Structure 1
């Protein structure tokens, strides 16, 4: 079988596939969606479990994908998640399989996911203070997240990574506290600059807590040393904390873009290929899939979709327009 790399015009090759399994979420984070939620995808527009497995398997066998991360929305609300992971693992024994989750359901599912073949989890957690958690997520569920993190660690889904977004006036003073908390539990913390992907289109550069501000806050209490291992295509700049072994990462998507080394491609819950997180166009695989297209034809469509990837996300360009879809509908 001929391998067709997912290459673009700038020499980048996508090997990391992010698969959104649902646009639904059981939190209402203020930087993502309004309190009342959003209009969710109709069930008939969402890829079935069989369709997800077919497309992911195709990506691994024909297109050179080596890493798959299941995202949402919140992937743990997808009823077929464990079975999808098991079937993808059977089809791709060497794939690196992970999920990005809010961890609220991990106490029930961590063991089953590990048994199915999941390698690790990335958990979105912006604060360890109950009042701040409620303010950000509009839910009183911090303990469920903490318990879910512990369940993932106990199930062997490590290294457990924690992704945190700092919001001005809410938790922007909590970076050192978050790092201490994660170091004590051997979780790997990554701070992420807030990106223009909220459903309300309320993002502004002036309100965003920048990487420089994050570094300044951390360095008041810790000594950060650039990690020796090469960054490669990883989105996070990695630093050793106080000589190690603990580390912290900063993903500065806005102020220090890493588009030139991007190796990611995204498949939305309704079967659209997005060659960039900030793309304003998508390529429809679902219609071809349901229209009887062969794996070879689907692979060719995917290759064409990646060829048109832009050189960068363009946030600094005055003509930049935020994607119509919010992060919850794109998948992280």
Structure 2
């Protein structure tokens, strides 16, 4: 019988766990508080200057308030008066006419400019900057320039007409002259901006589509109509919707050019300018809020209509089949 050394233990010692048992997860607020603090200013500013005025304007549209006295709840009275207000409907008509006169030519010229800038031309960077400058130009300075160009007595256009023996046009005193002048201001300011957006969309189109089209003998304008426009459909949809919303909320151009009156006969009175006059000139904040929400409904309806008209609805798949066939040929 062999004796066992009591100093040598025959039992396996217990292995201590190297990691502590998983406990309850830490509080995310304590764990990520630096991130929450860093983004808190945005949400505070949004709540104070974004969400609160939005909700408060809904409440004001059901009240009668001059900004100082007691607010009186009137229910739907502001909206009932809105439906019968001839000045409001005149502003709606002016807004739609100016929007139609400015948006369609603006987007058309922007698409043509972007297509030309996408070609191999010299000084391409200079042209891109030059077309974008009107968008960042001061509106006051631009209104002074357009006022000098379209002035009834001493405008550059009327001076040129007088020099060739033609009759002068009352640009800033006739209803259609006022609308045309405002539309020209919108076109001049936003055409370059939309052209840059279209140019970004053109640069995302695969070059093999153009190469295969040229191999097939397609000309420049055929390529533009059959490849460029269909492939730019998402960008066109974006510019149409944003231009529609911007056109219906037109304010700066008529206000700076014509003042709060909207010109003779209120020919330049837009919806937002009329809402501004009611709220901040007449101090009828309840009715001004009702006009603002009526504008929101109108803009939403037209945005949906534009979405339905411009969005891609490929019923027979011809466009997709043509693009797929050109890609196969390119390979």
**The TM-score by the shorter chain falls in which range?**
under 0.3
TM-score normalized with structure 2 length:
0.23
Structure having the higher strand fraction is 1
Structure 1 length normalisation: TM-score? 0.23
| Greater share of residues in helix | 2
